Structures are given as C-alpha cells and as structure tokens.
Structure 1
Amino acid sequence: MRDELEVARFSTLPEGELAVALLRNHGVAARLPDRDMATMNPDLLIAIGGVRVVAPDHQIVEARRLVERIRAGEFIDDSDDWAIDAVPGRIGEMDEAEVAGVMKWAKKAGAVIIVLAFVVFPLAGCVFDLARV
C-alpha cells in the first residue's frame, strides 16, 4: 500500500466531505481520516486544526491543484436550478396550515402531555406528600 499525504484541512466536516466527494469525482482516492473524531467530538476540530483530507502520494499534486480550484470558487454553480420558486404575492408570509404543518393537533396534544408529565403530576405528587405529613 502506498503512503497517504495530507491534501488540505477544512474547518468543518461538511467542507471536508464535499472536498473528498469532488476529488473522488475527479479520480483521486481521497478520504477523511478524522471523520469519526469529528462526528463524535466536533469541539476538538479547532484543537486539531480542522478535518484532514488525505490522498495517495502519487495523486497528491493533482489533489492539491483541485483543492486550489475549489477554494478559488471554480466549481460554484450560480444557476437557479436549486432555487426555490416563491409564490407571487406571498413572500415572507405563511398561512395557518403551513405553520401547523402535517402534525396539526398532534403538536398541541404533545405539548399538553409534556406539561402534564413534567409540571402538573410532579406538583400534585408534592402536594399529596405534604398533605400526608
């Protein structure tokens, strides 16, 4: 097996994942050796200097050039293919059905159950315990 060298470091896991995906799309066998640590303990990312992207030593030059192109913004897609179409006359406005969502009455029932379980029942238990004394 060949040695792996560090291609670049990224401050967040999603940035590193995107870089690896783009490198793999261009034929570079890149990977994130810090993925598990970054997932389990993301606070340590600052301490270790970010998420490392590594690649085989024979592909390191190509990988670093691709990362330079990424950081220069060459792969940014400015098309409107991903844009959400706004409903004319309703920008920033939502009606009650959109606010309630699909849960509607279930949200209200859940709130009542939580209040009963964590407020009313414990208080009632304390009152009954005091009444026995």
Structure 2
Amino acid sequence: MPSPAITPMPHVSRAYWCEQVTYRSMDADGIVNVSRRPVASPADAVRGIRTAVRALDSTLAPMERHRALSWVDGAGCVGAIATLHRGEPCGFSLSYRGRWIEWTVRPFFVFRVARESLLPLLPTSPCAAAPTPTPSPAGPDVRDPG
C-alpha cells in the first residue's frame, strides 16, 4: 500500500541532496572521493548526474559506456526525475577504470523560519563555552585546612 503524499506547508519547500561517491574498487571497499551539494529541483539534480557521466563517457569500457549513455539519453534520467517528484530517492552507478562511482539524490524538506523565531546557537568551541576566569584583586583564595 503506497504511503500518502506529504503536502508541504507554505514555509516548507523541498530540495534535493546530491552525492557522488567514488570507491577504490568494484567491491566498494574504500572511498576515494565524495562530493555533496543541495539543489533546488529534480531537473537540477539529474542534470548534475548527466554532466558527470558525460564527462566520463569517452573513457568508459564499451559495455559500460552503452549503459551510461542509455541512462543519460534515455528513460533512466526521465524516470529519475519522476521518482524525485514523487519524493523518493534515486541514483545511478557505474564502473570506471576499476573503480565504482555512485550518484544518489535524496529529497529533503527545507524549513524557512523567520529570523526572530530562531533559537540562539551554542558556541561550537569548548574554549568559547567556558568563561575565562579573572584573577581576584585580593589574590588567590587560600583557606585554612585546619
């Protein structure tokens, strides 16, 4: 049974989190490179994947090149855009010179909040969180142990 569609409120919009992960080998054992970025629309997300795949197409093995270009120029990217419009994640992956590359796109909601409604942030540095002690004009506090 499909889940009901979530209708965002006026101050909420949908954006798309795009990731490209390159693994050291076809076994996806070690990450060589990761790039991430948000985009505003499904078309922008899929355009980013298409651009990256086209940059590699002349160096791909013949079978992988055919598969990549079929996705880029065919129904793969159209289906990906439709999937993102439904609020579902999508992706594409291929082998490239013994490495494995994955592109994924995940929808997320962006909440717009008026500045006066924002909560103050805590300091991120431990040094900034603790006040610096100031010496007493009378000198250090010495108590008689007895």
Q: Is the TM-score greater than 0.5?
A: no
Higher share of residues assigned strand: 2
Highest relative contact order (Cα 8 Å, sep 6+), 1 or 2?
Answer: 2
Higher share of residues assigned helix: 1
Query: Scaled by the length of structure 1, what TM-score is found?
Result: 0.29
Query: Scaled by the length of structure 2, what TM-score is found?
Result: 0.27
